[in-house]
Amino acid sequence: MPTVLALDVSLSMSRPVFTPDSQGEFQRRHLAVHGINHLLDYMAVSCKLEFTSLVVFSYLWEQLVTFTRDFDSIKSALNKIEIFNKTCIETVLNGIKSLIVEEWSTVTPCQIILITDGNCGIGQGSLKESLQSKTADDKFPLPFPFPCKLHVVCVANPNDPDLQSSLPLYQKLIDMNNEGGEIFIPESNMTMKSVEQMFQKLGETFYAPYFGTIQCGNLKCSVQLLPSPEPLSRKNAAGEDEQIVLNNNLEVCGFLDIADVASPPTISRHLVLPTISKDRGKPADENGSKEGKNGKPAAEEEEELDDGKTPSFTVLLHGSLKVEGMVALTKVGPDWYGIMYSWADSKKKSNLMLAFFYPGMDTMSWLGKLDNLAHVSEFSESPYGEDDSKTPFPVRPGDKRSYAQSCVVWIKPSGLQADLQKVLRHARKLPEKQQQFYKELNRIRRAALAFGFLELMEAMASMLERECTMLPGTAHPSAAMQLSHAANALQNPSAKDVSTTIMPLQTNFSTDD
């Protein structure tokens, strides 16, 4: 889940702050930088695979660091920030919107952390004026076109009058985005410690790592999921919203061939990483602390162990799924399932991934209800038949479809262009492809009539006339006659009758000539 750190560098962030827990005078931006560094240290431990970008803003905005996992580069950029003029939050929200759409499209969930001093600006460009003019001008960036949580971190004293007047405006921003978020303010007067605690609370609330256990029979392993999964909301039988929380114990129910699962609908994907268990079943001493074989505390001994030499069930599971071409059906919550599988981002490296289905027992219609699945040995005869290479899924319905072929769909210009190019390919191979030429011609004509796209028929007639004039001298005489006939038929009023069919012109030439 990518994160954008948006730091306010307006003049108000340079106001001095005297902190009793340290000597000297600090500016508010110094406290903000200290808090961001603390948050980055927390993310480096709990969310080390998180992509983070640094953006600074005042009346304009600038991306200082692109999306990266190198948190040290962000820390270095924070030490070089400069102070500019007034605050304009609408400008930076528009800038962040364009950045995320360009980098991650509109389907990737992300988080935006707006770090400011509680001053929304004054006059033109202020947040108050932007929200008031939203009704007249619909160019306000919220809500974002992608799923995004918006957080506002205020480096200000809780009783600051500017902050108290700005809190309703910040909350309105979060409500307008309609994806959740929170406002964070120091619990006491601004000090290094209170700002650090505020960012620590932000990290623990929205960047807490997920640690759980994968269990398959008597085999189990402690794992971490990256990014951390979030609780899911759904409607219950009474029509009320209920929240489904991921279980700490992820239970492998069974295994399926990849061909049986096909491409199921999923809501999120997560990397599965093994974690070192803090107690390896070693006895505790009189003081209750674990002791290793060498007389050292177990915690210190485990740090000395090479992670690559530590046995892990996830390594066995990943290798087995990769070699056998299977997936592991995993129960992750009440009436909530997912699949673990081997995923390769390159030819040399692959990872164990966990994809979550939508909650429910019938998320894959071709498999039926998931609680009805059983081991193949429980069937009187194998559903695969004598040939184990064949798969019984997906199960086709017994009733026949009422249509013989798929309908014509033009969602993008490329689809229409492909159909027209097919007609041209057949036209250039007349008279050998005469039957295919008229079949495709009538198919596109009927689709154009169904959509009311009558201009397409005129364009096709012009296209065929042009193709007729470009025929080489070695072309069959029948080719020019058929192209002229088809062009005239498309321009004839009877061509607008969907029940009629354009038939080939009867000539004295044979296709063998």
Cα end-to-end distance, the chain, whole Å: 66
Averaged pLDDT, 237-243: 74
334 Cβ contact partners less than 8 Å away, ≥ 6 residues apart: 244, 247
Q: What is the 3-state secondary structure (H, E, C) of 100-139?
A: HHHHHCCCCCEEEEEEECCCCCCCCCCHHHHHHCCCCCCC
Burial 103-142, CB ≥16 within 10 A → b, else e = ebeeeeebbbbbbbbbbbbeeebbbbbbbeeeeeeeebbb
291 Cβ contact partners less than 8 Å away, ≥ 6 residues apart: 282, 283, 284, 285, 297, 298
pLDDT, position 403: 52
Hey, what are 284's tokens?
Answer: 């505790």
pLDDT at 512 over 50: no
Q: How confident is the model at residue 47 (pLDDT cuts 50, 70, 90)?
A: confident
pLDDT at 69 over 50: yes
pLDDT at 388 over 60: no
**Judgement on whether residues 220 and 287 belong to the same structural domain of the protein:** yes
Q: What is the 3-state secondary structure (H, E, C) of 358-370?
A: CCCCCCCHHHCCH
Distances in Å between the Cα of 462 and the Cα atoms of 38, 471, 491 are 68, 15, 9
Question: Taking Cα atoms as reference points, which of 323, 308, 351, 320 lies closest to residue 252?
Answer: 320
pLDDT at 280 over 50: no
**Judgement on whether residues 463 and 320 belong to the same structural domain of the protein:** no
pLDDT, position 201: 92
pLDDT at 68 over 70: yes
- Which residues on neighbouring strands pair with residue 63, listed in sequence order? 55
**Judgement on whether residues 223 and 178 belong to the same structural domain of the protein:** no
pLDDT, position 398: 57
What percent of the chain shows pLDDT beyond 90? 25
Q: How confident is the model at residue 113 (pLDDT cuts 50, 70, 90)?
A: very high
pLDDT by residue (tens digit) across 455-485? 999 999 999 999 999 888 888 889 999 999 9
Among 203-207, 349-353, 366-370, the range scoring the smallest mean pLDDT is: 366-370
**Judgement on whether residues 214 and 356 belong to the same structural domain of the protein:** yes
Distance between alpha carbon 452 and the CA centroid of its chain, in Å? 37
pLDDT at 287 over 80: no
pLDDT, position 139: 72
Overall number of domains in the chain: 3
| Domain that residue 252 falls in | 210-232+244-302+311-378
**Judgement on whether residues 201 and 138 belong to the same structural domain of the protein:** yes
In a domain, 502, yes or no: no
Q: What is the pLDDT of the chain when averaged over all its residues? A: 82
pLDDT, position 396: 57
Hey, what are 164's tokens?
Answer: 């108290």
In a domain, 403, yes or no: no
| Residue the block writes with tokens 């971190």 | 153
In a domain, 400, yes or no: no
pLDDT, position 278: 47
Averaged pLDDT, 413-425: 89
pLDDT at 31 over 50: yes
Averaged pLDDT, 230-240: 74
E strand or H helix at 445: helix 434-451
Q: Are 432 and 513 in contact (CB under 8 A)?
A: no
pLDDT, position 402: 57
**Judgement on whether residues 131 and 249 belong to the same structural domain of the protein:** no
In a domain, 214, yes or no: yes
**Judgement on whether residues 221 and 347 belong to the same structural domain of the protein:** yes
**Judgement on whether residues 324 and 361 belong to the same structural domain of the protein:** yes
CA dist., res. 135 & res. 133, Å (int): 5
pLDDT, position 283: 38
In a domain, 71, yes or no: yes
**Judgement on whether residues 199 and 285 belong to the same structural domain of the protein:** no
User: What CATH number is associated with residue 322?
Assistant: 2.40.290
3-state secondary structure of 12: helix
Averaged pLDDT, 93-101: 90
**Judgement on whether residues 149 and 215 belong to the same structural domain of the protein:** no
pLDDT, position 277: 54
In a domain, 237, yes or no: no
More confident residue, 296 or 192: 192
In a domain, 503, yes or no: no
Averaged pLDDT, 199-217: 89
pLDDT, position 235: 72
pLDDT at 137 over 70: no
Averaged pLDDT, 314-343: 89
pLDDT, position 328: 92
DSSP characters over 383-396: TT-S-TTS---SPP
pLDDT, position 55: 92
pLDDT at 286 over 70: no
**Judgement on whether residues 351 and 269 belong to the same structural domain of the protein:** yes
pLDDT, position 389: 55
The answer, yes or no, to whether the previous bond of 431 is cis (omega within 30 of 0) is yes
**Judgement on whether residues 435 and 369 belong to the same structural domain of the protein:** no
3-state secondary structure of 26: strand
Q: Are 420 and 460 in contact (CB under 8 A)?
A: yes
Counting Cβ atoms within 10 Å, is residue 424 exposed (0-12), middle (13-18) or buried (19+)?
middle
pLDDT at 490 over 90: yes
pLDDT by residue (tens digit) across 425-434? 999 998 899 9
Averaged pLDDT, 300-322: 71
In a domain, 387, yes or no: no
User: What CATH number is associated with residue 128?
Assistant: 3.40.50.410
pLDDT by residue (tens digit) across 492-510? 998 888 888 999 988 876 5
Among 84-88, 230-234, 363-367, the range scoring the smallest mean pLDDT is: 230-234
